């Protein structure tokens, strides 16, 4: 099975049709980082500066 590759924050915004600057503004208004805001609003998981869909298994489980 091929391992899923994560995407960067700006790519996630583009994929979901979100304006990156608006996301940053809304996050700031809520006192959140853009990372926390996107995770909260989209369910995508941030791991090592890349976002993965919510169903993505943790990469830590594959490490010994």
CA distance 55 to 22: 26
Domain boundaries, the chain: 1-30
Reported as a pLDDT band with limits 50, 70 and 90, residue 42 is very high
CA angle 64, 59, 47 (to 5 degrees): 130
45-62: pLDDT as tens digits: 999 999 999 874 554 454
Q: Which residues pair with 46 in a beta bridge?
A: 51
22-39: pLDDT as tens digits: 999 999 999 999 999 999
């Amino acid at each position: 099975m091929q391992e899923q590759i994560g995407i960067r924050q700006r790519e996630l915004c583009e994929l979901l049709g979100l304006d990156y600057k608006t996301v940053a503004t809304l996050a700031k208004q809520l006192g959140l980082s853009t990372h926390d805001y996107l995770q909260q609003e989209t369910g995508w998981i941030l791991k090592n500066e890349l976002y993965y869909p919510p169903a993505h298994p943790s990469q830590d489980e594959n490490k010994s």
